[in-house]
Structure 1
Amino acid sequence: MEKRWIRKSSPDPANVRQLADALRVNEAIISLLCQRGVCTFEEAKAYFRPSLADLPNPLLMRDMDRAVQRLTHALHAGEKVLVFGDYDVDGTTSVAVVYSYLRQFFGPERIDYYIPDRYKEGYGVSDAGIDYAAEHGYALIIALDCGVKAVEKVGDATAKGVDFIICDHHLPGESLPQAVAVLDPKRADCPYPFKELSGCGVGFKLMQAFTQAQGLSEAPLYELLDLVAVSIAADIVPIYGENRILAYHGLRLLNDPERPQRPGLDALRELAGLRFGLNISSLVFGFAPRINAAGRMGDAKRSVAMLLAETKEDAIARAGVVDKTNQERRGFDTSITKEALEMIENDSRLLNARSTVLYKEDWHKGVVGIVASRCLDKYYRPTIILTQSNGKATGSARSVAGFDVHQAIEECADLLEQFGGHMYAAGLTLAVENVPAFQKKFEQIVASRILPEQLIPPVEIDSELQLTDITNGFYRLLSQMEPFGPGNPNPVFESRGVYAAPDSARIVGNSHLKVALTQDGYHVVDAIGFGLGEYYDRMQQGEPFSVCYNVEMNEYRGVRTLQLRLKDIRWE
C-alpha cells in the first residue's frame, strides 16, 4: 500500500545548539526533543528523568474531595464496597489496582470486584451489577473505566440504596450521572491539568487522594504502577505529561530483576517469550491481547484473578487459561478477518467506498474490534464491523489518522441505541433493521468530509540521518527517550541514496524483507521490513533508494546488533 511521507519541520537551529550545549547531548537527539516541545533545560530534565514528585495533586480533579469523603465514610462505617470495572485491559487493570489496594483497609469480607459479562450485560454499568450489589449488601460501587454516561443506571442504583463513585476517562454526555462523585478529567468543569489519563490512571488518582487523606506513605501505592503502565500501553493513551511519569516508573518496576515481580504479569512475560527490557510495544503486543482475550471470549474475571494471583504457581495456572483463551481468540480473529476482506473484495460498491461498514449476525462479538483494525490495515479508511448480540447489531469502529469516527457515528445517532468512544475507536449498538440505513448514512458522512490524503497511510518522519550517524552511542541516547507511544512516538528517520549491499537481500517468513543497507560505498547497517517483501526484486537491480525507519537493537543468540526497522521504501 502506498504511504504518505510527512517530513516534520525542523526546529530553530539556534535553540537546538543552545540546548545541546547545556545538556552535552548529540544535536540530532536535541532536535527530536525540540520537535516534541521539550525546549528548555528544565523541560529536558523532566523528560529524561520523570519524577513521581511531579504528579499533579489528585484533589485538583473535580469531585475528588467528595469521592475521598465517601470512601472514608464507608471505611469507618463498616460498609461493603464493590469495585466494578470494564472487561478490557484498562478495566481489568483498574479493578486489580483499586481492589488490591483497598483490600488492606476493608478486609476481604467487605470488598469484592465485579466485571460485567460482555455478552449478557454489555459494556459499562449494568442492571445485573447493580442488582448484585443491592442483593449482597454493598453500599458503594466504585465504577472504573466506565460510568460517565450511565445516567439512568446510577439513578436506579441510588433508588436501591447503592451509591456510586465513577472513575472514567471517556467523553461525558450532555448530563452527568447523579453519583456521589464523577471523576473524569474530560468533564468540561474539571480543572485537572492532565486530561489524558487512562481509566486505570483515574482509579490510581483516587487511591492517591485516599492515601493522602489517611496520612499514609504513597510508597506502597507506587508498587502498583506496573499495572497502571499496562493500562496506559493497552488503551493507547498519549504518553506525555502525567502518563509518561506513570508509564516510566511502571516499566522500571517491570524491568527490575532485583524486585519480586507481580506473579500474574511475570507469568504473562514468560508466555509471551519476553525478557527483562520490556517497553510499551512489549505490553501492547505481549500482554494486552492475552489479558483482553478473557473478556472477549468469556469471563474477564479470569484476567483479574491472574493479575491478583499471589503465588507463582497460581499465576502460571491462571495465565495458562488466559493464554489458551487468547489462542481461541486468534482462531476467530483469523477466520472472520478473511471473511470480512472477501466481502469487500467481491463487492465493487464496498471496494470503492470511502468507509467500510460490514455486518454478519454470526461473527464473534469479542473480536469485531480486532477485525476492524485488520480491515483498516488492508483498506485504509474508517471501518465498522458489526455482529448480532442479544437481538441487536453491535460492534466496533476504527479510524484513520485525522478523521473523527466518534463524531461521524454521533451524526447517525437517530439510527442508534447506544454509542461511545474516542476519535479513533468507538463502539455502537443499533436495531438490526437499521443496519442498511446506517451503512448508507455513515458512508455519506465520511465521503463528504474525509480528505483524499486521509485515505493514504501517513508516515511522519522526524529527521534525515546518514547511515554513519547510526552508532551504538546514538542508540543509547535515543533509548533514553523511552517510553515511546502516542504523543511520544519512536522517532522515524529517513536516509536517502542507500543501496542493498551485494547478495544481502532475502525474503524471510513469506513476505518480510531482510537486507543490509549501505550508503556512499561503506558503513553497512542491517535492516528488516515486515510486509515489504514486494520490494525484493527491484532492490536486486542495484538502484539507489530512500528508506524511512526506526532504529532498534536486535538480539539473536545473545548477540546484540543495531538494526533498522523499515517502515517504507521509495526509489529515487
Structure 2
Amino acid sequence: MRWTQKSKPKKDKVQALKNELQVDEIVATLLVQRGIETYDQAKQFFRPTLNDLHDPFLMKDMDKAVARIELAIERQENILVFGDYDVDGTTAVSLVSSYLRSYYSNVATYIPDRYVEGYGVSYQGIDFADDNNFSLIIALDCGIKSIEHVVYAKEKGIDFIICDHHRPGDVIPNAVAVLDPKQKDCFYPFDELCGCGVGFKLIQALSYKRNITIFDLIPYLDLVATAIAADIVPIIGENRVLAKFGLQVINSNPRPGIKALVQNVKKKELTISDVVFLIAPRINAAGRIKHGNEAVALLTEYELAQAEVFASEIEQHNSDRKELDQQITKEALAQILENNEENRFSTVVFQEHWHKGVIGIVASRLVENYYRPTIVFTRSGDKLAASARSIKDFDVYNALEVCAEHLEQFGGHMYAAGMTLKEENYDAFKRAFEKVVQETITPDLLIPEIEIDAEINLTDITPKLLRILKQFEPFGPGNMTPVFYTSNLRDTGYAKTIGANDEHIRAYIKQDRGESFGAVGFKLGNKIEIMKNQQNFEAVYSIEENEWNGKVSVQLQLRDLR
C-alpha cells in the first residue's frame, strides 16, 4: 500500500473555521479539505435540505420531456418505461413507472434481457413497443449512444425521451428530449447524477404542474439512494442530499420490496456502505442470473407478503451469483498464471463459457488481486462481450476510446465500462489495450493508495469527535470516510487473527500510557507479526462505532500497518 498525506489546508482557513464553528482543529481541517470554508457551507454540509435541490428545468430538454409526457397522457397514449438491468437501471424504471402509474394507467416497463439483447436500448425492445402499440419510450440509464435505435423507432412512429448520465459521443440521438447533464451544451449545475437521479429530476419536473411538492416525493428516495450507492457516483451536491434523505426512508419507512430485502439484517441503521454490500448485490442478482424484470417486480410491489416471495427468489439468485463469481475468478486467476501475465500493465482474460452476468464482479476481484485496469470477456451470441473495471485515477473509458477500431461498441465511464467485439479482433484489442495502458499509466498508480486526512493521537479520539464524524455521513466518492494516521502504537497483548483462513486481525491497541481502543483489520491477517511482542508500529485507520450485545463502543478500523 502507498500511504499519501492529503495536502494540508492553509492554517488561517482552518483557524477561521474552527473559531466560527467552535469545533476542534481536526474537524475544521477535515471540513476545509472538503472545500467547506464558511459557516453557511458547513451548515449546508451538516444540515442538507430538500430545498438545496436544483430546479429540474435547468436541465437541457426538460421542458420538452415534460411536454411530450403530458401530451401522451392527454392523448391516452401507451408509455413504455425502458431501463438497463443493473441496480441504477431497475431502480430508475421502478421510480418513473410507479410515479406515472400513480395518476395514469397506460404505463408498462421493459428491461432488456442481458443475454439475448445485451446492454442498453435494443431493437427487440423497440419491436415489443411497436407490437403492443406504445408510441412513447422513456429510456433510463441508457440511450445516450442509441442513435440508430432512435431512428429505427421513429420509422415505426415511436418517440423517445432519453434520461442518461453516461458520457455522450460526438453525435446525440435525435430524440424528442435528451436529458443528460454530461452533454456539453447542458448547463445544469450538477453533472454527477446517476441514471435514477436523472429519472428523479424528471418526476420532480412533472410534479410541478400537478402541485406536488418535493416533500411529497420523499417516498421515492429509497430507490434513488440505492442507485447512488450502487453506481458509486460522488456523494456531493445533489447526490448528498438525495442519499441522505433516501437513507432516512430506507431506515424508517422503505417500500415493501426494500423492506423485504433488509428485514433479516440485524442492524439498527443502514449506511451507504450497507446499501452497497447488502441491498445492491441482491437487486443486481436478478439481472445477472435470471432477468432484471424480477428486480422491477420486487421494487414496485405494494404488498409486503408478495414482496417477501420475490425477495426470497432473488436471495437464491444471489447465492447462485456468489458461487459463479468464486468459480470464474478462480479460473481467471489460473489463466493469468498459465499465460505468464502476472507482470503486465493490464489484465484482459476470456473464456467463452463464463457467465455474462458476473464478469463485472470477476473483473473487480481481479483488480483486488493484481491492481491494474482489467477486462473480462465471455461469449455473447456471435460476439464477445466484456466488463471493464479500473483503478484509482486511471480512466478506462479514455483507454477504450483509443482502442475503438477493434470494438463493435462500448460505453461507460472512468472506472467501469462494457463493450462488445468480434472474436477475430480479440487478440489485436488485447495488445492495443495493454499498449495504451502501458503508455499512459504512471508506476505509482499501480500501487493501491491510502489517502490520509490527518495525523492524530489516540487521545484525540473522543465520543464527541465520533458524534461529529457521524454527521459527515453519508460517505462515498467526494466525501470519503476520514482516514487517520498514528505512530508509536503498541498492542496490549491480545492481538489475534480471526476469520476462516486467519485473514483478519482483532486487537486492542494503545499509544504511550493512554487508554486502549479495540481495533479490527480486515484482510490484514498476514501482518499480525508487526503487532507481536508489543513492538511499536504505525497505522492508518478510520474511526467507527462498534455495536456488540447492545453496547456501543469506539472501534478503529485498521486500513494498513507498518
> TM tier, shorter chain?
over 0.9
Conservation of the 8 A alpha-carbon contact between 1:81 and 1:112: yes
Return the match for 2:319 from 316, 327, 331.
Answer: 327
Equivalent residue for 2:46? Answer: 48
Q: Aligned pair in 2 of structure 1 residues 250, 243: CA closer, same or farther (>3 Å)?
A: same
Aligned to 2:450: 459
What is aligned with 1:269? Answer: 262
Q: How far apart in 2 are the matches of 1:544 and 1:326?
A: 43
SS in 1 for 2:102: helix
- The aligned amino acid for 1:165 is I
Q: How many angstroms apart in 2 are the aligned matches of 1:509 and 1:47?
A: 41
- Of 401, 410, 416, which aligns to 1:419? 410
Q: 2: CA distance between counterparts of 1:234 and 1:274?
A: 21
Matched residues in 2 for 1:407 and 1:14: separation? 39
Give the one of 151, 155, 160 matched to 1:155.
Answer: 151
Partner SS state of residue 345, structure 2: coil
**What amino acid sits opposite 1:217 in the alignment?**
T
CA positional deviation for 1:521:
2.5
Query: Which of 472, 480, 491 pairs up with 1:500?
Result: 491
Matched, 1:468 2:455: no
Asked whether the 8 Å contact 1:513–1:530 carries over to 2, the reply is yes
Q: 2:552 is aligned with what amino acid?
A: R
Output one character per residue of 1:512-562: Cα deviation in whole Å (capped at 9) or x when no partner: 011111101331011111110111123213321110011111111211111
Q: Residue 143 of structure 1 aligns with which residue?
A: 139
- Name whichever of 433-442 and 499-508 sits farther off: 499-508
Matches within 5 A, 1:267-306: 267-271=260-264, 273-306=265-298
Tell me what 1:80 maps to: 78
- The answer for the alignment partner of 1:62 in structure 2 is 60
Correspondence for 2:538: 546
Determine the structure 1 residue equivalent to 2:110.
Answer: 114
Counterpart for residue 428 of structure 2: 437
1:27, distance to aligned residue in structure 2 (A): 2.0
Cα displacement (A) at 1:274: 4.2
**Take 1:80 and 1:491, find their aligned partners in 2: how far apart are those partners?**
49
Paired positions, count: 561
Q: Deviations over 1:299-323 (max 9, x none)?
A: 1110111111111111111000111
Show CA shifts across 1:93-124 (max 9, x none).
001110111002212xx111010000000000
Which of 5, 12, 27 does residue 3 from structure 2 map onto?
Answer: 5
Instruction: Please name the residue that 2:28 is paired with.
Output: 30
Per-residue displacement from partner, 1:229-269 (whole Å, max 9, x unpaired)?
A: 0000000000000100110111111222xxx4311111111
Report the 3-state secondary structure (helix = DSSP H, G, I; strand = E; otherwise coil) of the residue aligned with 1:522. coil
What residue number does 2:94 align with?
Answer: 96
Residue from 516, 527, 541 that aligns with 1:535: 527
CA distance in 2, matches of 1:450, 1:156: 40
Is it true that 1:178 corresponds to 2:174 in the alignment?
A: yes
Partner Cα separation in structure 1 for residue 213 and residue 192 of structure 2:
26
The separation in 2 between residues aligned to 1:185 and 1:286, in whole angstroms, is 29
- Find the counterpart in structure 2 of residue 564 from structure 1: 556
User: What aligned pairs does 1:110-509 form with structure 2 within 5 A after superposition?
Assistant: 110-256=106-252, 260-271=253-264, 273-348=265-340, 350-509=341-500
Decide whether the 8 Å contact of 1:101 with 1:221 is kept in 2.
no
Structure 1 window deviating more from structure 2 (98-107 vs 453-462): it is 98-107
Deviation at 1:214, TM superposition (A): 2.8
List runs of 5+ in structure 2 lacking aligned partners.
none
Query: Is 1:71 aligned to 2:64, yes or no?
Result: no
Counterparts of 1:261 and 1:276, CA distance in 2: 14
CA drift at 1:420: 0.6
Secondary structure at the aligned position of 1:6 is classed as strand
Please identify, of 397-406 and 212-221, the stretch whose mean Cα deviation from structure 2 is larger: 212-221
Residue 506 (structure 2) aligns with: 514
TM-score (norm 2): 0.98
* AA at the equivalent of 1:316: E
Q: Which whole-Å CA distance do the structure 2 matches of 1:302 and 1:224 have between them?
A: 19
Distance 2:312 2:20 in 1: 51
Shift of 1:60: 0.5
The aligned amino acid for 1:134 is: D
Which AA in structure 2 matches 1:568?
A: D
Unaligned runs of 5+ residues in structure 1 are none
Cα distance in 1 for residues equivalent to 2:279 and 2:303: 19
**Aligned AA for 2:153?**
A
Supply the distance in 2 between the matched residues of 1:549 and 1:503 (Cα, whole angstroms).
Answer: 19
For 1:50, the aligned partner's letter is P
The answer as to whether partners of 1:507 and 1:513 remain within 8 angstroms in 2 is yes
1:14 CA displacement: 2.1
| Secondary structure of 2:167 counterpart | coil
For residues 212 and 450 of structure 2, the distance between their equivalents in structure 1, rounded to whole angstroms, comes to 47
Moved more, 154-163 or 22-31: 22-31
